[in-house]
Structure 1
Amino acid sequence: MKYLYTLFILLSVIAAFFSPMDKHELNEISFSFAMGVDYADGGYELSLQLINPAAIAGKTPIPNSPYVVYKAKGKTIDTALERISVNLSRFIHLKEVEVIVISEKIAREGKIKDIAEYVMHSAQIPANANMVISQDVNASDLLMVYSPIEGFSAFEIASILKKLGRDIPRTASEIKVNDIKEGKDIVLPFIKIEGDLKIGQEKGNLETTGPAHIAYGGLALFKENQLAAFLDYRDSAYVSMLQGAESGFSIEASCPKGEDDLFIFRILSNRSREGKLEIYEDKYIYHFNLNITGDISQLKCEINLEDPEQIKLLEKQLSKTIQKNINHLLAISQEHELDLLGLGLIMREKSPGNWKKLKSYWPLRLKNAEIQVHSEITVQNIGNYKAGGG
């Protein structure tokens, strides 16, 4: 793993060397791959995870931390960044920033669009840097966690987000595009710390078999510009499903014959497309078509998998489960009066006349919305299960 870090830093150094905007010697530059944004009275507290190349490069690494976290406060992000720069002997290089961690507290203060705007207009920070919310922990504290797998928490977070695919907007430019389009509230991934934070910030966290670690929690839901609620990872999977995520999650469904047990269906492929939109006075019915293929990965039902008709019972039960969970997502949207599924955006595209009349009251009018999911499900592999779930 050490060699991967060294290679990554070497490539970043080469990129900085050939960049026409970098006029400093390489030994005068500090590289950052992650930035944290926390709340401070009257402004921001900014933190940067700065790489310490001497600790990981060379045949005999220096026994120091592979990174350090510097932080400073300011009324604006720029002033906080300036104060960090003043405290360093090197020039800060931010063009390799992959992750921007935003604390729950500042997200609840309604600063998310301000942060996205700053990133969009900054000449130093890439507009495609991933933005993620930290739940119940300051962003600066989370950046200090030693990752047991990746070594750097910046790389750990980036790896987690890559696993989610590109279905959930999470960059400043994607937030800006959705804001311009209208009809969809901001949804961002959130992460949390599993285990003892204090232990996770000690280097010994890399040497234990039960380390504290950063984990994906689900989706952070925003009402306009303000964090309103968290959606756990199981519910978040159905948001991804509706938006066409191909695979990587499972459906837990109850047995079709009424037994008090369940079976697990692992999705291997998923094609999702928006169907028609029906409008009856103040009733809006959205249709979604799903074409899903997967395997039975667990079965505790009294059912004969060698009988095609009984497999159809499982497929029908899966369709019911998907509809039930999508209804649950809609209920959350209605409760918080936010549009996490982009139903307003669909209406804007399919019925611009109605959207023009309704957009001033949206997503309050979501209480009149209904979603009908039409699922075509194929059980591809039944594994080694025998009749009766054995």
Structure 2
Amino acid sequence: MIRKMRFILFFLFMLLLMTGCWNRRELNDLAIAGAIGIDEAGDQVRVTIQVVNPGEIAKKGGSLRSPVTTYSEQADTGFEALRKLTTIVPRKIYLAHIRVIIIGESLARKGIGPDLELFYRDQELRPDFYVLVAKKTTAENTLRVLTSMDRIPAESLFHSLDTSEKVWAPTSTVNMGELVRGFEGKGKAYVLTGIQVKGDREIGGTSQNVSTSSPPTTLQLSSLSVFRGDKLIGWLDEEESKGYSYITDKVKSTVGYVSCSNGGKVVVEIMRSKAEFKWKTDSIAVRVRVEANAAAQQCKLDLTDPQTISELEKKLSEKIEAIMKKTIFEAQHNMHADIFGFGEAIYRSDPHKWNQLKHNWNDTFSELPVQFDVKATLRYTGTTNKSYLNEIKE
């Protein structure tokens, strides 16, 4: 028995010695990509990668070298273009740390499905990177812009989108896994946030862009792009994008205002929003509940008066409903695209009804009645109930 136990322990010890990372790669052998751009190039695909320069990131002092380098190549397929990049990139391209993939608008209108499939299938990538659309420009131009606050532009874009969705609302984070579910939805179209290059594109890729307190070129998140199938069909404006976020329960916080009856505005901060929609026999019922704070008072009002608070709540409810109705109108009558998932709601509630509607869903969606039930509540009026504006005499 003792001899047998010794053999087992010896065997386990040898296993520990023999274990290792069979596919281990040395950092010095890798070019770590933080972002990928995909563009149309005639009949070919142009792929751009933004590679991190580890030595420059580690330096604490100033440096004349850029913290990232962008490389571009084109081929008949995206996979070929990626491999072709090895002719100009001195190391093996490592994609496991990708933060964003940007699609040029021209390619997006042609169709993104075939060129994105690779990045969903590749076992090296986690499908948690965000997907964006370069508005009125190429993905390559976008990735060449250097950013000042985050030395790695890919990280800057990732965190900007995260923050903007949480506190602004017209933008929406969509990762690769969510995008694939959008492809597979019941009659559902989907949205992706846009990204714009503001300013001089030539300067944006130079050290001049990060050596001043007011960068001449910036990257700005835009409104939402609308896709049906795998093709870009149009853009929502900023207000319509916010309406989409309200309807789909994506508003975490945002800011707006309501007009005062005597002129001026009360600025409100939305602190909580809860939305849901259901299929009700022959229409979609959207229910939204919002809690808000009075963030700033730009008119003469007594916020200690319950009647005043009630009027502001009514106006805020009506304004949110109007924003959502504008979004619904755009989606139904101009886009003819169910970006909200109403088809999924019908399928979950009444699969038999969905089977009747799904074959002509885009036309049916365009005529689908939508009912709203919106209630906003003002919870907090700040550190004072009375503004000094009430004491200012004309």
Say which SS state the counterpart of residue 124 (structure 1) adopts: coil
Q: CA deviation at 1:26?
A: 2.4
In 2, the alpha carbon distance for the partners of 1:273 and 1:291 equals: 9
Task: Specify whether residues 247 and 24 from structure 1 end up closer, same or farther in structure 2 by C-alpha distance, changes over 3 A only.
Answer: closer
Say which SS state the counterpart of residue 90 (structure 2) adopts: coil
Q: Partner of 1:149 in structure 2?
A: 149
Q: CA deviation at 1:84?
A: 0.2
* Match status 1:216 vs 2:221: yes
Identity rate of aligned residues, in percent? Answer: 23
2:308 to 300, 307, 310: 310
Q: CA deviation at 1:323?
A: 1.3
Q: Partner of 1:13 in structure 2?
A: none
In 1, the alpha carbon distance for the partners of 2:37 and 2:387 equals: 54
Q: CA deviation at 1:35?
A: 0.5
- 1:230-379 matches, within 5 Å, as 230-255=235-260, 257=261, 259=262, 261-279=264-282, 285-301=283-299, 303-334=301-332, 335-379=334-378
Q: Partner of 1:43 in structure 2?
A: 44
Query: 8 Å contact 1:264–1:299 — kept in the other structure?
Result: yes
**Structure 1: any 5+ residue segments left out of the alignment?**
1-17, 280-284
Size of the alignment, in residue pairs? 365
- TM-score for the superposition, normalised by structure 1: 0.86
Query: 8 Å contact 1:133–1:188 — kept in the other structure?
Result: yes
Displacement over 6 Å in runs of 4+: none
* Match status 1:228 vs 2:229: no
Task: Specify whether residues 124 and 74 from structure 1 end up closer, same or farther in structure 2 by C-alpha distance, changes over 3 A only.
Answer: farther
Query: 8 Å contact 2:77–2:115 — kept in the other structure?
Result: no
Q: CA deviation at 1:387?
A: 7.1
In 1, the alpha carbon distance for the partners of 2:257 and 2:63 equals: 49
Q: Partner of 1:133 in structure 2?
A: 133
* Match status 1:170 vs 2:174: yes
In 2, the alpha carbon distance for the partners of 1:19 and 1:73 equals: 37
Query: 8 Å contact 2:104–2:134 — kept in the other structure?
Result: yes
Query: Match for 1:371: what amino acid?
Result: V
Q: CA deviation at 1:86?
A: 2.5
Query: Match for 1:369: what amino acid?
Result: L
Query: Match for 1:287: what amino acid?
Result: A
Task: Specify whether residues 53 and 387 from structure 1 end up closer, same or farther in structure 2 by C-alpha distance, changes over 3 A only.
Answer: closer
1:271-296 deviation digits (Å, cap 9, x = unpaired): 222245241xxxxx221222211111
In 1, the alpha carbon distance for the partners of 2:242 and 2:32 equals: 35
Query: 8 Å contact 1:37–1:101 — kept in the other structure?
Result: yes
Query: 8 Å contact 1:132–1:191 — kept in the other structure?
Result: yes
Query: Match for 1:180: what amino acid?
Result: E
1:288-333 deviation digits (Å, cap 9, x = unpaired): 2222111112334554321112211111111111111111011111
Q: CA deviation at 1:370?
A: 2.8
Query: Match for 1:205: what amino acid?
Result: N
In 2, the alpha carbon distance for the partners of 1:127 and 1:27 equals: 25
Say which SS state the counterpart of residue 377 (structure 1) adopts: strand
In 2, the alpha carbon distance for the partners of 1:127 and 1:354 equals: 33
Q: Partner of 1:91 in structure 2?
A: 92
In 2, the alpha carbon distance for the partners of 1:315 and 1:96 equals: 45
1:160-206 deviation digits (Å, cap 9, x = unpaired): 22122599462222122233231310211111122222222221111
Task: Specify whether residues 126 and 115 from structure 1 end up closer, same or farther in structure 2 by C-alpha distance, changes over 3 A only.
Answer: farther
29-38 or 182-191, which deviates more = 182-191
Say which SS state the counterpart of residue 102 (structure 2) adopts: strand
Task: Specify whether residues 350 and 389 from structure 1 end up closer, same or farther in structure 2 by C-alpha distance, changes over 3 A only.
Answer: farther
Query: 8 Å contact 2:37–2:103 — kept in the other structure?
Result: yes
59-68 or 369-378, which deviates more = 59-68
In 2, the alpha carbon distance for the partners of 1:19 and 1:238 equals: 52
Q: CA deviation at 1:364?
A: 1.7
Say which SS state the counterpart of residue 89 (structure 1) adopts: coil
Q: CA deviation at 1:44?
A: 0.7
**Structure 2: any 5+ residue segments left out of the alignment?**
1-18
Query: Match for 2:290: what amino acid?
Result: I
In 2, the alpha carbon distance for the partners of 1:345 and 1:19 equals: 46
1:326-378 deviation digits (Å, cap 9, x = unpaired): 11011111211111212122112122222111111112222322322222221
Q: Partner of 2:78 in structure 1?
A: 77
Query: Match for 1:333: what amino acid?
Result: A
Query: 8 Å contact 2:243–2:326 — kept in the other structure?
Result: no
Q: Partner of 2:204 in structure 1?
A: 200
In 1, the alpha carbon distance for the partners of 2:337 and 2:94 equals: 38
Task: Specify whether residues 225 and 60 from structure 1 end up closer, same or farther in structure 2 by C-alpha distance, changes over 3 A only.
Answer: closer
Query: 8 Å contact 2:278–2:345 — kept in the other structure?
Result: no
Q: Partner of 1:9 in structure 2?
A: none
Say which SS state the counterpart of residue 325 (structure 1) adopts: helix
Say which SS state the counterpart of residue 287 (structure 2) adopts: strand
Task: Specify whether residues 217 and 385 from structure 1 end up closer, same or farther in structure 2 by C-alpha distance, changes over 3 A only.
Answer: farther
- TM-score for the superposition, normalised by structure 2: 0.85
